Amino acid sequence: MAGKIRHRSIVDVHALLFDEAGRVLLMERANTGYADGMAGVPAGHLEQGESILDAVIRETAEEVGVRLGTGDARCVHVSHRCKPGQVDRVGFFFAATRWEGEPVNAEPHKCARIWWHDPDDLPSETIGYVADAIARVRSGAGGVFSLYGWT
C-alpha cells in the first residue's frame, strides 16, 4: 500500500466536574470563534508530547483554576465526531468529583461565565457533542465510545 497517507485526527480532552450535589460545571464560551454563546465544559487540545491525562489536568487548571490529581480524573467516554467538510476529532471525556481549589473563570477573555447545572437537564445552548457525551455517561447505555456527526 505504498503512497497511502496515514489519517490523523485532532485529539481533545473534556473535564466533567461534578459537585457534591451531582451538578456538572458548565462554561459559556466567548470570543473564541467556535460555539461562542454556547455552554461547554473545561476542554482543550492535546499538545505535542503530552499524555491525554496530563492534557485534561492542564486544561482544567488553565480554564477553571482547579488541580486534578492523576487519580481524580477517570476516562468515562470517547467521542469520534465530525461535521461535513471539517476535520474529524477524537474527544476524551474525564469525570471527576474531587480536585484542589474552587472553580473560577480563569480565562474571562474566552469564557463569559461558569456555573453548576443539572446534567440531566442541560441548557438548550449546550454544544451538541458535549450534551451527547454527558447524556451517554449519565444513562450508562451509550457505552464508553460513540460516533457523533458522521453521515
| CATH number of the structural domain spanning residue 48 | 3.90.79.10
Note whether residue 102 is domain-resident.
Answer: yes
Number of domains the chain contains: 1
Domain span at residue 79 reads: 11-148
**Per residue in 12-71, pLDDT tens?**
999 999 999 999 999 999 999 999 999 999 999 999 999 999 999 999 999 999 999 999
Per residue in 110-144, pLDDT tens?
999 999 999 999 999 999 999 999 999 999 876 79
Q: Under a CB-based contact definition with an 8 Å cutoff, are residues 25 and 104 in contact?
A: no
Residue 3 lies in a domain: no
The answer to whether position 107 is within a domain reads yes
Domain assignment present for residue 5? The answer is no
Q: What is the maximum alpha-carbon separation in the chain?
A: 55
- H or E stretch covering 136: helix 128-139
CA distances for 91 relative to 21, 30, 71, 103, angstroms? 26, 21, 20, 22
Whether residue 98 is contained in a domain is answered as: yes
4 is a domain residue: no
Contact criterion met (CB below 8 Å) for 40 and 26: yes
The answer to whether residue 121 is domain-embedded is yes
Q: Rounded to two decimals, what is the model's pTM? A: 0.94
